[in-house]
Structure 1
């Protein structure tokens, strides 16, 4: 039995398509997204919930690099979440782009997919980091990214993912030093919001 085996149906799912679910006794179960959705649809009394299977999509980023995205649809009772994952390479579990949109549980999943792909294209059109003398630096004056767990720091400090690249906290701080004396504003957004 592998780490990604659904305890409900026995299917081995890819890492991005499993959900750890807490049981009433405090134990955790690993479910594939299909079994998770069946369980939530039953609990939330959502009738005829459609669990779609989407083919991965390849999109070009601002540098012309082709990026492949895999999708997961989850039912959260009164909302459907559609997420896109660029799968990480090597040991960088938190690297890669991720996107999410929320919709009505009865909404057409393919319409939501179209909206998500448009959101992804808008985000991929911008570079927030550029290379200068062998180092990554902030391209302009705005940086958008995602906060992630940094296993190297044992949870003491986060890492950030910018332009699909994992950047540790001290590297990010060094990037900001070129703006010494400037003001800044941090705005935290839900993953489903437009950044």
Structure 2
């Protein structure tokens, strides 16, 4: 499987981390989540976005099965940030998925805590 590269930072990215960003007038670029957040923040004049990459966590369900959850944080404008938790199967989002929504100035660890509570 070939891995795409972010058109902004040129780093390789997994398919689940790729976002097509742009418009019909200006064209679209393939960006990683980190660069996407920077572009959206720049567009709305936001200078204090906490743009972090969260490491996956493992959780065990009531049947004793282990689940690894990956995280993706996306800035969706000046008033909304979304934090997703999802499982992967063969590098594709599959299995359980959870989401919490907050505001861009919310503490990322507080959002993560709310999301982990949903996972439990």
TM-score range normalised by the length of the shorter chain: 0.7 to 0.9
**Does the residue aligned with 1:87 lie in a helix, a strand or coil?**
strand
Number of the residue aligned with 1:106: 105
Higher mean displacement: 95-104 or 107-116: 95-104
How much has 1:54 moved relative to structure 2? 1.1
Decide whether the 8 Å contact of 1:55 with 1:70 is kept in 2. yes
Number of the residue aligned with 1:74: 74
Superposed, 1:48-87 pairs within 5 Å as 48-77=48-77, 78-87=79-88
Structure 2, unmatched stretches of 5+, are: none
* C-alpha distance 72-22 of structure 1, shift in aligned 2 (>3 A): same
Number of the residue aligned with 2:119: 120
Q: Name the count of aligned residue pairs.
A: 118
Decide whether the 8 Å contact of 2:16 with 2:93 is kept in 1. no
RMSD of aligned C-alpha atoms? 1.8
**Does the residue aligned with 2:115 lie in a helix, a strand or coil?**
helix
Q: Which has the larger radius of gyration?
A: 1
Superposed, 1:23-172 pairs within 5 Å as 23-25=23-25, 27-77=27-77, 78-89=79-90, 93=92, 95-121=94-120
**Does the residue aligned with 2:20 lie in a helix, a strand or coil?**
strand
How much has 1:26 moved relative to structure 2? 6.8
1:135-160 deviation per Cα after TM superposition (whole angstroms, max 9, x unaligned): xxxxxxxxxxxxxxxxxxxxxxxxxx
Matched, 1:15 2:15: yes
